[in-house]
Structure 1
Amino acid sequence: MSYQYPVLPDAEAFYFEGNKIGILVSHGFTGSTQSMRPLGEAYARAGYTVCGPRLDGHGTHYEDMEQTAYKDWITSVEEGYQWLKERCDTIFVTGLSMGGTLTLYMAENYTDIRAIIPINAAITVPSMENVNELENVRFLDAIGSDIKNPEVKELAYEKTPVQSVKEILQLMEKVKGNLSKVTCPALIFVSDEDHVVPPFNAQLIYEGIESERKSIFSLKNNYHVATLDHDQQVIIDKTLEFIASNL
């Protein structure tokens, strides 16, 4: 597929080579790797090998995203997973928002994943479901940068393609239907206040997965893009603890 826009500064995929333990880090819908880079860098400093793929059609322009399907986003994450497989013996997966949805997808389909850390993951967003009723509407308002800290801004698209909303609805439905295939340990982060993905998603995920070791951790001081918000260090610290306890 040919796209017409260059990758934006700070939206590039990132790769850090470390030890034999790999962490796959996925950003969210209409967002970019900028939202996950602080986590990726922290995990790299801890010695881990880290891959943060840029999801197809993201980090350039919303017209590029409009041309992509949810299967393209899955492929982007799978390519990151394969990069880690070539270097690592053990792989953990984490992701924000749709990145959390893709994290669940990976655990449903790759049984060798050691454990997962979804962050404000989406499996049902009722506010999106009327999109099929829209006629002659190509783009909706932006959904990015739902951040409590006024000094921080997410690098995300200023418009949301209607076609892309239809794609994420399909992805969420697919992932939600296969939650029982997830059996690896799971640490589920959820912001108490989130204006993009309803917080009740965390409980649905918790109840739907078959993992013996699973927990929900509530984030008190941020909105949807928690990885860039006040509780960023809490997420980093808790994730590193969780990984160490699952090695």
Structure 2
Amino acid sequence: MPVLPGAEPFRHEGGEVGVLLCHGFTGSPQSLRPWAEFLAEHGLTVELPLLPGHGTRWQDMQLTGWQDWYAEVDRALRELSGRCERVFVFGLSMGGALALRLAAKHGDAVSGVVVVNPGNKVHGLAAHALPVVRHFVRSTKGIASDIAKEGSAEVGYDRVPLHSAHALRNFFRLVDHELPQVTQPLLLLHSPQDHVVPPADSARILRRVSSADVTEILLEQSYHVATLDHDAERIFEESHAFIGRLAPGVGMKGSMTGG
């Protein structure tokens, strides 16, 4: 099945610091592409994989589950760790949950975590009905393109397969239990006006992680897909400064490595 235009994975060979970016549920690398390109332009090695079942058509997604999505970012992290001295994991929405689980599982192999509007729970009464309803109803309306900025659009599915939504619910519950294992420096950016993931998810993540070095930033001008919204530049610059603080002198291609 051909990949939707713009949804292709992205990679860039840069310096000694690597960044793995994880896109969201029913989304694609397109939502993080400007972020990835910004980091690449600043000399970092960048990996932005396409998650299994994403970037084609929603029917393909219902054949996959959280184990498939996590296995892809886990593979990418291991590969990046073999090429770089320091590795950071970034994520949007469900990608934030993927990034947090990588941090919980890989310990010192992950130097820091940046998440934007990270998901922690499937909300609403419908969430409790998913185990049963998914056997009778194949899909519901999509969640893509929750963006305040005029003319900005996300390449994502217009339907959510309910088998996948059930898998996502199970994944969020798993990650929630593992959050106390996250000890790395954390930068969490979230939108007070988000029509997909409520601010309560960010608040819970901040309460449950064990990280001592935590920064929270509000994205007042943006909705859920803030990486394509009014606050995009702020996200890019804050995340780059976060890396610069934690890995000084490392990672910019052509600069001194080490130290």
Q: Secondary structure at the match of 1:92?
A: strand
Does residue 129 of the first structure (1) align with residue 131 of the second (2)?
A: no
Q: Which has the higher contact order (CA 8 A, sep 6+)?
A: 2
Q: Match for residue 257 of structure 2?
A: none
User: Which 5+ residue runs of structure 2 have no aligned equivalent?
Assistant: 248-259
- Does the 8 Å CA contact 1:202/1:216 hold for their aligned counterparts? no
Distance 2:98 2:238 in 1: 20
Structure 1 letter corresponding to 2:119: A
Q: Match for residue 214 of structure 1?
A: 214
Post-superposition offset of 1:238: 0.5
Structure 2 letter corresponding to 1:120: N
Distance 1:82 1:14 in 2: 17
Distance 2:240 2:172 in 1: 27
Distance 1:235 1:125 in 2: 25
Distance 2:154 2:121 in 1: 22
Distance 2:234 2:226 in 1: 10
Post-superposition offset of 1:132: 2.9
Distance 1:132 1:65 in 2: 17
Q: Match for residue 190 of structure 2?
A: 190
Q: Could you report, residue by residue, the CA deviation over 1:41-80 in whole angstroms, capped at 9, with x for unpaired residues?
A: 0000010000001001100110110000100000111121
Post-superposition offset of 1:82: 2.2
Does residue 119 of the first structure (1) align with residue 87 of the second (2)?
A: no
Please report the TM-score for the alignment, with normalisation by the length of structure 2.
Answer: 0.92
Residue range with higher mean Cα deviation, 83-92 or 230-239: 83-92
Distance 2:4 2:82 in 1: 28
1:42 to 17, 38, 44: 38
Q: Could you report, residue by residue, the CA deviation over 1:161-201 in whole angstroms, capped at 9, with x for unpaired residues?
A: 00000000011000000110000000011111000011111
Structure 1 letter corresponding to 2:26: T
Distance 2:216 2:186 in 1: 8
Structure 1 letter corresponding to 2:114: I
The equivalences for 1:1-247 within 5 A come to 5-111=1-107, 112-127=109-124, 129-130=127-128, 131-134=130-133, 136-247=136-247
Post-superposition offset of 1:83: 2.5
Please report the TM-score for the alignment, with normalisation by the length of structure 1.
Answer: 0.96
Post-superposition offset of 1:133: 4.6
- Does the 8 Å CA contact 1:95/1:117 hold for their aligned counterparts? yes
Post-superposition offset of 1:125: 2.8
Distance 1:146 1:154 in 2: 8
Q: Could you report, residue by residue, the CA deviation over 1:104-131 in whole angstroms, capped at 9, with x for unpaired residues?
A: 0100100120000011001113125132
Q: Secondary structure at the match of 1:85?
A: helix
Distance 2:201 2:246 in 1: 24
- Does the 8 Å CA contact 1:125/1:198 hold for their aligned counterparts? no
- Does the 8 Å CA contact 2:122/2:168 hold for their aligned counterparts? no
User: Which 5+ residue runs of structure 1 have no aligned equivalent?
Assistant: none
Distance 2:39 2:112 in 1: 15
Structure 2 letter corresponding to 1:94: F
- Does the 8 Å CA contact 1:206/1:215 hold for their aligned counterparts? no
Q: Secondary structure at the match of 1:192?
A: coil
Residue range with higher mean Cα deviation, 13-22 or 132-141: 132-141
Q: Secondary structure at the match of 2:83?
A: coil
